[in-house]
Each structure stands twice: as structure tokens, then as C-alpha cells.
Amino acid sequence: MIRGKSMIQRVYEQSGKCSALNELVVATDDQRIYDHVTAFGKAVMTDRNHPSGTDRCLEAFYRINTDNTYSDNDGVINIQGDEPFVDPEQIDQVIHQLKKPNKNIVTLVKKIDREDDLRNPNVVKVVFTASGRALYFSRLPIPYVGGTGAMKETGEPATHYRHLGLYGFRAGTLQQIVSLPVGALEDAEKLEQLRWLQQDFEIYVEETYVESIAIDTPEDLEKVL
């Protein structure tokens, strides 16, 4: 509960403010969450044994697309259930980019402005090309700069970006990446997006300037209560 309302309801209501979404569905494997969500919105029950949220997202897509309303070219947006303050404009930003030709996986990044975020392995860092194509994701500070890995030799902060866990996929691409085997990079960093990069799938990033607060730990929750 966050100020009298459950975290998942806050995620649902914030996401519902994005007018570009055709449907909004909570995918869960917990009957308690399903019962709670269906009191104010839409939910689907999924298998308990999914190795990742991406796999769960694909099953949810299958369950809401039994009448083939959506094609392989339509977009599926994976919004994390621990982002009660997700900005609907960020979702719209991902959808806008996903509509562009040849962009089959889109996600968001934000400039890092705190040293402790740069050092925190739970804050995933990313480097990308001038056109926004992701080169690599890591739990370590990338790019590594000088002797500290965090500062330019002049003493000015280097530019680093953190990854926000909001993904947009074309449905056909989502089906493809879920079937990929775990690779050495994913196994090392424990980041599933590295599996896609290693198998030559392109991930495009879009910079956001909106600060989003994720609730990953009890300590995170204490900060917003």
C-alpha cells in the first residue's frame, strides 16, 4: 500500500492515462493480485514458471488475442508493476518510437546525475549509438572513464545513462526473442536484453527527462510513504 492505495492500482491508473494504449491488462500468476485488480480493471492469470517478465508478457498477449484482433506488427508494451509513478507520457514516447519503420524493440534511458546511481549494480547502465541503437547494457559504470570509471580526467562528470524498465515490442519480435537461448552475456550480467543483442536483435533507446521512482526494495517504499 502507498498512501492508501495498492502499488499495482497506482501503476494501472497511471498507465491508463496514456490514450495511445488500446488495452491495459495486468499479467499475474497470483490469485490475490488477480482478484484485487479485477475489482478496478482487467487482469489475466499466467503460468507460475515463467523465467522472465518478457515471457509472461507474451503469454498475456496470447490470452487477450484469442480472436486475432492484433497482428504480429502491432505493439506490446511491457510496463513494470513496481513503477507506481510511471508517467503516461513515457509510455506514449515508447509507442511513438515503436510506430517508426524497423524499430521492433524500444525502451527508455535517462541521464545519470548521481554518483551512487552510477555505482549501484541495481541501476542498469546503457551505451548507444548516435541513432539510438543500444550497444550494451551493464550493471557496472559504462563507459569506463579514466582511473575512476566515473569521472573525466578533467574532473567533469562523464555522461552516463541508466535504463528504465519500460519496453515496447512488435508482437512478432516478442515471439521471436522469447524462444532464444540464454547467452554468455546474459548469464554474466543477469540482464535478459543482452540475450537479444547477442542474437543480433536491435534495441532502440529514447531519452526521457522525467524522473520515475521504482519500488524495488522495502527501503524504496519507505522513501515514498
Tell me: pLDDT of 145 over 90: no
Fold of domain 7-224: Spore Coat Polysaccharide Biosynthesis Protein SpsA; Chain A (3.90.550)
Mean of the per-residue pLDDT values for the chain?
A: 91
Reported as a single tens digit per residue, the pLDDT across 149-204 is 554 544 555 789 999 989 999 999 999 999 999 999 999 999 999 999 999 999 99
Whole-number pLDDT of residue 146: 65
The DSSP code sequence of 20-77 is T-S---EEES-HHHHHHHTTTS-EEE--TT-SSHHHHHHHHHHHH-TT--S-TTSEEE
Question: Do 79 and 202 contact (CB within 8 A), yes or no?
Answer: no
Q: How many residues does the chain have?
A: 225
Non-local CB neighbours of 33 within 8 Å, separated by 6+ positions? 8, 26, 43
Whole-number pLDDT of residue 210: 84
Q: How confident is the model at residue 148 (pLDDT cuts 50, 70, 90)?
A: low
The percentage of residues in the chain with a pLDDT greater than 70, rounded to a whole number, is: 89
**Per-domain residue ranges of the chain:** 7-224
